[in-house]
Amino acid sequence: MATQPLTIDRTKSAERIERDIETLAGPDYTRSSEAIMRYAYTPEYRRTLDYFIGELEALGFEHYEDPVGTLVARNRPAGENVFGVGSHCDSNRNGGKYDGTMGVVTALEVCRLNEELGLDLPLQLISFLEEEGSGFGQMLLGSRIIAQRVTEEELREKFRAVDDGRSFWEHAEEAGYEPERWQDSIRILDDLVGWIELHIEQARVLQDTQNRIGVVNAIAGYVHADITVYGRGDHAGATPMDFRKDAGIVMAECMLELERLAREAGKGTVGTVGEIELRPNLINAVPGQAKFSLDIRGVDEEGFRGVARDIAAFAKEAAEKRGMRAEYAQRQTLSATPLDEDIVAALEEAAQASGEPYMAMHSGAAHDTMSIADRLPSAMVFVPCKDGISHSPEEDAEPADAAIGAEVMLNAIRTFTAGGQ
Ligand code: HGY
Ligand code: MN
Ligand code: MN
C-alpha cells in the first residue's frame, strides 16, 4: 500500500455509528411500529435525509439533491475530483435498521474521521433514492435514473406508486423536485474517481466463517418480472374439478418449476416468487386470475437469464394445457456486475492491515453500486448480519464491524486520492 495504513479509534467510531443507527430506527423515521418502513417522498424519509444533512453540514460539506431526490454531499467544490462513499437509506417495507442505512452511516463516519484525523481526503457522500423499490416497485430506481437506465415514459407513466397508483413523476413534482431534469442526475458522477459502498451481507457466510469484513468483487445480476395467468373465476363449491380454469393451479406449477430451473442452472442461480395476487382472492371462489412476481438472480449471466426465459415459456405452455392464458412482463433487469480490481485489491490490503478476519466474496443481493460500476471504478465492503436475516425487523448487525469497515474504506481511499497521506 502506497500509504502507511492508519488505525482509527474503533470504539469511538462504533459508538457514533450505533447512535446514528438507533436514532434512525426511532418513530420519526419509519411509517411502521413493527419494522423500518421509509421510502421516497414520505415525511419519514425526508426526516432521514435531513438527519444526514445536519451531520454533514456540521462537517462543512456542501449538499444538494438531484432532480428527483438522491442526496449528494461533498467537501470539495464542483469540478474537483472526489472519492464517492455511500449507499441508500430508504428501506424494504418490512425493513430492518441496517439494510442500506448502515452503509450511509458508515460513509458519514468516514467523512467524520477524515475531518478528525486531518486527512483532507476529497469525499462525496451519496444516498441513493429508492434502492428498495418500496415506493414504486422499482428496485435501484434512484441510481438507475442517474445511470440513465430508465426512460422518461417509465418515469412519467409506467412507474406507479404502490400506495396510490399515481406516477413517479407526479410524486416527484409534488415533493418539490424537478423530474423533467432527470437526465441531469448523471452529473453526480462527474468528479468521482472511485466509489465504495458498505452494506450488510444479508446472508450468513461472514458470520458462519467468523469473518468480520467481506471484500465484494462481483454482484449478481437479476431479472424482475411478473407472470399473470388468466383463467375463469367460478363458484368453489358448485364447479366440478373437470370444469375449472383455476389460475392458481398454473401459478403453483410455475412456482415449483422455477425452483427446479434455478437448481438445475446451478452456479449460485436463485429464483423466488415473493409476491402473489389472486383474484378475487376469496375462500369460496376459484381464482380467475393469478399474478405473481419473479426475482431471478445469479453471477452467471447465461444461467439466470436462461431461467427467466424458460419459466416464461413454461408458464405459457402450462396455462394453454389447461385452456388458459399466461403473460410474462419484465419489470427490469441488470447484468451481473464485476467490480473494479484495483479498488478490490486496495480494500483487501486495507482489510489485511486491519488485522481482522476478512474474505473476498460475491454479492447475491443487488446494490446501487451495480448501476454505476460501469461508469467509474467501484467496489463494496460487507459486514456480517446476524444469521443472515435481512428485509426483516429482526435484522441485526454490529456497529463495531462497521467501524472496522470505516477504517478499511478510509485506508483504501487514501490509496486512490491525491490527498492520501
Ligand atoms: O433485493 C435486493 O437485492 C436489495 O436488497 N434491494
Ligand atoms: Mn440494501
Ligand atoms: Mn434491501
Tens of pLDDT, residue by residue over 14-28, are: 999 999 999 999 999
Per-residue pLDDT of 360-372, as tens digits, reads 999 999 999 999 9
Q: Would you state the pLDDT for residue 419?
A: 45
Q: Cβ distance 410 to 119 under 8 Å?
A: yes
Cα-to-centroid distance, 95 and ligand 2 (Å): 10
Cα-to-centroid distance, 243 and ligand 2 (Å): 46
Per-residue pLDDT of 245-303, as tens digits, reads 999 999 999 999 999 999 999 999 999 999 999 999 999 999 999 999 999 999 999 99
pLDDT above 80: residue 36: yes
Percent of the chain clearing pLDDT 70 (strictly above): 99
Q: Can you read off the three cell numbers belonging to residue 29?
A: 423515521
| Ligand 1 atom closest to Cα of residue 364 | 3
Pairing between strand 213-219 and 358-363?
parallel
pLDDT above 50: residue 420: no
Q: Would you state the pLDDT for residue 329?
A: 98
- Which residue's alpha carbon is at the smallest distance from atom 4 of ligand 1? 366
Q: Cβ distance 96 to 392 under 8 Å?
A: yes
Which value, to the nearest 10 degrees, does the dihedral of the CA atoms of residues 260, 265, 267, 271 take?
A: -50
| Ligand 1 proximal residues by C-beta, below 6 Å | 131-132, 139, 365-366
Cα-to-centroid distance, 319 and ligand 1 (Å): 30
For residue 418, name the pLDDT band (cuts at 50, 70, 90): low
Bond preceding residue 240 cis, omega within 30 of 0: no
Name the residue among 123, 75, 78 with its Cα closest to residue 416.
123
Per-residue pLDDT of 173-223, as tens digits, reads 999 999 999 999 999 999 999 999 999 999 999 999 999 999 999 999 999
Cα-to-centroid distance, 222 and ligand 1 (Å): 10
Cα-to-centroid distance, 93 and ligand 3 (Å): 10
Q: At what angle do helices 10-24 and 43-58 cross, to 10 degrees?
A: 150
Cα-to-centroid distance, 85 and ligand 2 (Å): 14
- On whether the pTM is more than 0.85, the answer is yes
Mean pLDDT of the chain: 97
Tell me the best of 391, 392, 395 to mutate to test the pocket of ligand 1, counting ligand atoms within 8 Å of each CB and taking the most.
391
Q: Can you read off the three cell numbers belonging to residue 344?
A: 478490490
Cα-to-centroid distance, 12 and ligand 1 (Å): 30
Q: At what angle do helices 341-354 and 399-416 cross, to 10 degrees?
A: 130
Distance CA 3, CA 299 (A): 33
The ligand placed nearest to the CA atom of residue 140 is 1
Q: Would you state the pLDDT for residue 255?
A: 98
The ligand placed nearest to the CA atom of residue 365 is 1
Per-residue pLDDT of 62-100, as tens digits, reads 999 999 999 999 999 999 999 999 999 999 999 999 999
Distance CA 410, CA 413 (A): 5
Q: Can you read off the three cell numbers belonging to residue 327?
A: 403473460
Cα-to-centroid distance, 218 and ligand 2 (Å): 15
Q: Would you state the pLDDT for residue 236?
A: 98
Sequence-separated (6 or more) residues with CB below 8 Å from residue 405: 106, 198, 213, 381, 383
Per-residue pLDDT of 301-350, as tens digits, reads 999 999 999 999 999 999 999 999 999 999 999 999 999 999 999 999 99
Q: Would you state the pLDDT for residue 313?
A: 98
Q: Would you state the pLDDT for residue 13?
A: 98
Tell me the best of 91, 92, 299 to mutate to test the pocket of ligand 1, counting ligand atoms within 8 Å of each CB and taking the most.
92
The ligand placed nearest to the CA atom of residue 36 is 3
Q: Cβ distance 343 to 218 under 8 Å?
A: no
The DSSP call for residue 279 is: E
Q: Would you state the pLDDT for residue 184?
A: 98
For residue 2, name the pLDDT band (cuts at 50, 70, 90): low
Percent of the chain clearing pLDDT 90 (strictly above): 97
pLDDT above 60: residue 421: no
- Which residue's alpha carbon is at the smallest distance from atom 6 of ligand 1? 132
Distance CA 137, CA 43 (A): 19
SS3 95: strand
| pLDDT top residue among 149 and 2 | 149
Query: Could you give all domains of the chain from N- to C-terminal order, each with its CATH number?
Result: 10-219+336-418 (3.40.630.10), 221-334 (3.30.70.360)
Q: Would you state the pLDDT for residue 3?
A: 73
Tell me the best of 130, 138, 139, 368 to mutate to test the pocket of ligand 1, counting ligand atoms within 8 Å of each CB and taking the most.
139
SS3 56: helix
289: amino acid identity, one letter: Q
Strand partners, 333: 223
Per-residue pLDDT of 389-406, as tens digits, reads 999 999 999 999 999 999
pLDDT above 50: residue 380: yes
For residue 417, name the pLDDT band (cuts at 50, 70, 90): confident
User: What is each CA distance from 188 to 30, 184, 383, in whole angstroms?
Assistant: 27, 8, 26
| Ligand 1 atom closest to Cα of residue 390 | 5
Tell me the best of 219, 297, 367 to mutate to test the pocket of ligand 1, counting ligand atoms within 8 Å of each CB and taking the most.
367
Query: DSSP H helical segments within 138-270, as ranges?
Result: 141-146, 152-153, 168-174, 205-208, 247-265
| Ligand 1 atom closest to Cα of residue 132 | 6
